[in-house]
A and B are shown apart, each in its own frame.
Chain A
């Protein structure tokens, strides 16, 4: 019970993620089968739909944009600040921070992670591991989107009696960039909204917000 309470945030998002992905699979299969009927093709089962390129590209295009959002947010907030936003560091504290502030190398505490005590590449990797993980997930998802997207797009083209195209051609196609950019713009708007609105608006009790009574021009203070 204590474990569940201490991990309630992750568990809740995990359950919501699984429910949403399951819902997407069901709704996606119903929509796909509706299109199949129009084309005179046979309906597919949910399982067949889930392993299809159509489902894969829809999932991957959303994943890549989410990971891109967190990659940019994680890395850009090292160097860029927003006065008054609890999502930002204080103006003047831009940069990676000193070893003392970051508790690495000789400044590592007794309970610091082992790699925080390391030197060289190991320390660099661990010091940037969050951004690297987000970046790798972004690149992997985007690559998956391009591969699955090529397959789905070519099936559509063949159904329209058109020649299929190569993966390289798909990477420069309007279809690929429309799918990518329509996701990116929404993620970027969401981050912009969060950074700016949190200067002036409050959510009592949330670590994403400043305390309700905190002045608008105070930066980096959370409840």
Chain B
């Protein structure tokens, strides 16, 4: 009896101590860099695999990001963090992030909801 309760307490404690600020700030910084045309800086905030998959052959990540012309993110309206994954809902976008040992990085941005299916994202891995 004690062990299942300890597991539950652990899960609840983990759920209650979640930091939603860091992914929200990371999403805001990404959109601020895109809006300021600092595409190189924005590319550095992408998860490695996302940054690798974004450009077409012969193109760089900043060039690809600039060509997408992502709309403004706007203010953060909600953050969900589960494990090492986060979803930051903004007024103009929904951003998905992954937590690495060196911080949160954007996995997907420019995302449109499709009901219960995966979001359709302009930037994704």
Contacts and interface: CB of A to CB of B under 8 A. Distances in A.
B96 A158 contact: yes
B8 A144 contact: yes
Contacts, number: 92
B86 A158 contact: yes
A221 B5 CA distance: 38
Given A42-B101, A51-B10, A53-B83, A163 B111 contact: no
Contact of A133 (B1, B3, B49): B1
B68 interface: no
A24 interface: no
- What is the predominant secondary structure among interface residues of chain B facing chain A? mixed
Interface in B33-73: 47-49
A60 B116 CA distance: 27
A102 interface: no
Size band of the B side of the interface?
Answer: 35 or more
A41 interface: yes
A163 B89 CA distance: 10
Contact of B4 (A140, A157, A162): A140
A196 interface: no
Interface of A: 40-42, 51-54, 56, 59-60, 63-64, 133, 136-137, 140-141, 143-144, 147-148, 151-152, 154-155, 157-164
